[in-house]
A and B are shown apart, each in its own frame.
Chain A
Amino acid sequence: GENVEQHPSTLSVQEGDSAVIKCTYSDSASNYFPWYKQELGKRPQLIIDIRSNVGEKKDQRIAVTLNKTAKHFSLHITETQPEDSAVYFCAASGSNDYKLSFGAGTTVTVRA
C-alpha cells in the first residue's frame, strides 16, 4: 500500500518567514495529494490539494508543488503568522483504492 513520509517532524519559524514541509510517497500511480491543518484539540481541515496533472497550485500565502518523477510534494507557507501554528499533515491517495494515507505530521510553531 501507499507509504507517505513527511519531514521535518517539527519546525519553528520567526513570524514573517517562510515554512516548507516536504513529503514523499511510494505509489507512483497516486494522483491526489491534499494537505490538512490540525489545531490543538480540533479536527483536521483541508487547506490545499493538488492532483497529479498539475505541478503547482497556490492559494494566497499557501502553495503546493508536486514532482511526480521524484514522487515528492511540498507545502510552502509564506509570511507566516502566529495563527499558522498547528500540525500539518500531507496525504496521498492510491491508485487501486481511494484510501488517503497520511504522513506523520509536522508541528509548526511561529514565533512572534
Chain B
Amino acid sequence: DSGVTQTPKHLITATGQRVTLRCSPRSGDLSVYWYQQSLDQGLQFLIQYYNGEERAKGNILERFSAQQFPDLHSELNLSSLELGDSALYFCASSRQENSPLHFGNGTRLTVT
C-alpha cells in the first residue's frame, strides 16, 4: 500500500457529463501529481500542486481542472466528457518536489 488514496476506484458515466476524482496524499507529502494513462499507453502528465499552489501543467485539456485544498487532498474535475477521456487516472504524491513519487491505485473512468 503506497499510502495514496484515490476515490472512486471505478467510474462509468455518459458523454457530456462531469465527474470529480479525489486523491488523498501520503501523510506528510506536500506535492500532488495527476497523470492520465489510456489503454496500453504511457503516463501523461496533467498537473502538479505543491502545498496548495499549482506548480506545473502538462497537456491538460481546458475541460479539465484541478485543485489542492488546505488539507492537501486534491480533486481533478473532468467536464463535457468525451469517449476519448476514458482512461486510468493516477494521483501521485511526494514529500517535496523532485523526490520519489508514490502512486495511488488509480481511478478507472469509462465514458459511454
Do these two chains interact?
Answer: yes
Residues from chain A with a CB closer than 8 A to the CB of B41 are 104
- Whether a CB of chain A sits under 8 angstroms from the CB of B28 is no
Contact A43 B42 (CB under 8 A): no
Bin the interface of chain B by size.
20 to 34
The 8 Å CB contact of B101, one of A42, A46, A104, is: A46
Contact A45 B103 (CB under 8 A): yes
Residues from chain A with a CB closer than 8 A to the CB of B33 are 99-100
- A32/B42 contact (C-beta < 8 A), A98-B48, A99-B48 known: no
CA distance A36 to B90 in the complex (A): 14
- Whether a CB of chain B sits under 8 angstroms from the CB of A31 is yes
Question: Which B15-63 residues sit within 8 Å CB-CB of chain A?
Answer: 31, 33, 35, 41-43, 45, 48, 50, 55-56, 58
